[in-house]
Amino acid sequence: MPTDEIRDTSEITLPGIAASPGIAHGQVFLHVQNDLELPAHDIDPAQRGEETARFERALIATRLQVQRTKAEVEKNLGADEARIFDAHLLVLEDQALISETLRELETSGHNIERCFHRVAQRYIAAFETIEDEYLRERAGDIRDVAQRLLQNLLGQAAQSLGELAKGRVVVAGDITPSEAAGLDRSEALAIVTDTGSKTSHAVIVARSMRVPAVVGARDLTKRVRNGDWVLVDGYEGKVILHPAEQTLFRYGKIRLEKKNIELRLLEASRQPAVTLDGVTVALRANIEQAGETKLVQEFHGDGVGLFRTEFLFLSAPRVPSEDEQYAAYRAAAETLAPAPVVIRTLDLGGDKPMPGGAHLFARESNPFLGHRAIRFCLDQPAIFKDQLRAILRASAHGKVRLMYPMISGREELARANAVLAECRAELTAKGVAFDATMPVGTMIEIPSAALTADLLAQDCEFFSVGTNDLIQYLLAIDRVNDRIAHLYEPTHPAVIRTLRHIVTEAHRFGRKVSVCGEMAGDPVYAALLLGLGVDELSMTPPLLPAVKFAVRAMTLADARQLAEDTLKLTSAKESQSLCENFYRARVKVE
């Protein structure tokens, strides 16, 4: 904590990650979460029944608290935001977690608080190792629920952050979804955290409340005191301590400009994505669950280019049944029909074990290159066929497309298609309706798939390029490793040449190419991707307006020239600069 010596109050700008747009200026409320002091003692075997009963009472009390929080969020923010707390309820109903806690009680003989804490920490640690940012953030949900349950076991009441933070900028190491739900726009001016990511549930709540937020502002809690004045830039991901008068004046102008930009982008989102020379571009959305189709409609997306089905598996205490999956896929297809919904089959594996299915995964020294995605599905045909049948059945209710993840070559694709053929035959024999012409595609995210695009194109009907993994594998860069993340370069010549090769081979066989990675959601790269011949872009729904605005401000002819120019360059920095200059010259929204 800061000491009482005379402090330097000159202006300091600290970088972070832009998580929720907006600008706020106010005094700091420093929210320091103290770890619970857990008792540690042995339990007499005769008293273990009472420990189990205390645990069950705490589970019930915690469920009621979460249900009340969910109802309050639904009332104030809406049903979609309230679904965040469905994941919390599922944690409390996870029979594996409950059983492991009771087993820990029997084997260790320790008090139930200590047993539950030990088991919960194992779950949290497992999720924190997951590569996917969205899924990794689910560790925060488990931590939040565990904190609530431990407070109930200890008889402690949780403080309301909303009451403490009125009219202040909340600065914390991290903020749980429950704490975020206790805030509203009239209480907290902004949220800044030392850690976290743009996909945390706390950030999702903040965005829903239109509260500016910056995450990943490392060690900020150690540099500020309660009452310090700060300016939070949720657009650029900056926190300015002790802002000078000229900075406040400049940001007053920026706030007005950003408001004008947002209005222009919102207006553009209602218009068709057509270039200045009359070429229509399909802009679709990436979603995690069926309920997010509301966002697709709100931001006028042309359907779904990537439905990540992992959420169904990771948010359930057991492997979801065929009928449960069918209900989710059908809901998305019906809501968005006649727009397409591309459903990707399960992309879980050694780095993303699912609750209730941990026994299916073995520890691996390098899980990111291990037993995951299509490899796991082909080794678990029962799970794979349940999902394929669910997707086929949903295809009778909308324009569904199926896509396989992490395909490495033609033989693997053929094996997956053979299982799909079995599922089609089984449904036909039972008289179950499905779209017999449902298109089947594959992700291109492994270099071997990119190099054999001509072979894969003969056995599927479309490609979707996962640029996140493709770039990572091409450049041998772990993008979540802070020490080398700066080497993750979307405009590296190897990346641009590989994308051109994929598109060329796909088009040679009449196959369309979509990009569904982070590159697709960055308007700076829109012209490059379209110029390389990419047919469709798919991104997180809120990013659609900015990309659509960029599309409407360019000609495809100019985009093609940009692509040709970048292909002649020899460095990522040169290509990046070319793309940025192209964007700035055309996209003027001030």
CATH 3.50.30.10 residue ranges for the chain: 12-34+159-244
| CATH class of segment(s) 263-586 | alpha beta
List all residues 6 or more positions away from 373 whose beta carbon is below 8 Å from its beta carbon.
346, 347, 348, 349, 405, 406
Positive or negative, the CA dihedral 387, 393, 398, 401 is: positive
pTM for the predicted model, two decimal places: 0.70
Dist CA 460 CA 455 (whole Å):
9
Q: What pLDDT score does 395 carry?
A: 98
For residue 68, the one-letter residue type is R
Direct distance between the N- and C-terminal alpha carbons of the chain, in angstroms, rounded to an integer: 42
**Both tokens of residue 91?**
């944690």
Residue 7 has what pLDDT?
Answer: 63
Q: How confident is the model at residue 283, as a pLDDT? A: 97
Q: What is the predicted pLDDT for the residue at 518?
A: 84
The burial class, CB within 10 Å (0-12 / 13-18 / 19+), for 195 is middle
Q: What residue spans in the chain does CATH classification 1.10.274.10 cover?
A: 45-154
- Do β-strands 462-465 and 512-515 pair in parallel, antiparallel, or remain unpaired? parallel
Q: Specify which residues 512 forms β-bridges with.
A: 462
Asked if residues 341 and 438 have their Cβ atoms less than 8 Å apart, the reply is: no
Is 589 within 8 Å of 261 (Cβ atoms)?
A: yes
Amino acid at 513: V
The predicted pLDDT at position 335 comes to 96
User: Which class does domain 12-34+159-244 fall in?
Assistant: alpha beta
According to CATH, the topology of domain 45-154 is Enzyme I; Chain A, domain 2 (1.10.274)
Domain with CATH 3.20.20.60 in the chain: 263-586
Query: Which sequence positions are flagged as catalytic?
Result: 201, 516
Per-residue pLDDT tens listing for the chain (590 residues): 444 555 667 899 999 888 888 899 999 988 876 667 888 889 888 899 999 999 999 999 898 888 888 887 776 666 666 777 887 888 888 888 899 999 999 999 999 999 999 999 888 887 777 766 666 667 778 888 888 899 889 887 665 565 556 788 888 888 776 777 666 556 778 889 888 776 666 676 677 677 888 988 888 888 888 889 999 999 889 999 999 999 999 998 888 888 887 788 878 788 999 999 999 999 999 988 888 898 899 899 999 999 999 878 876 667 889 999 999 999 999 999 999 999 999 987 544 455 545 445 555 555 556 667 898 899 989 999 999 999 999 999 999 999 999 999 999 999 999 999 999 999 999 999 999 999 999 999 999 999 999 999 999 999 999 998 899 899 987 655 556 656 778 999 999 999 999 999 999 999 999 999 889 999 999 999 999 999 999 998 888 999 999 999 999 999 999 999 999 999 999 999 999 999 999 887 55
Residues in CB range of 357: below 8 A, 6 or more apart: 313, 318, 319
Task: List alpha helices for 173-244, DSSP H.
Answer: 177-181, 201-208
**Distance (Å) of CA 88 to CA 96, 145, 151, 161, 317:** 15, 6, 15, 19, 11
Residue 66: strand, helix, or coil: helix
**Which tokens go with 264?**
């222009």
Instruction: Say how far apart CA 464 and CA 372 lie, in whole Å.
Output: 18
Alpha helices in 93-212 (DSSP H): 95-108, 112-128, 133-136, 138-154, 161-164, 177-181, 201-208
Please state whether the peptide bond connecting residue 338 to the residue before it is cis, i.e. omega within 30 degrees of 0.
yes
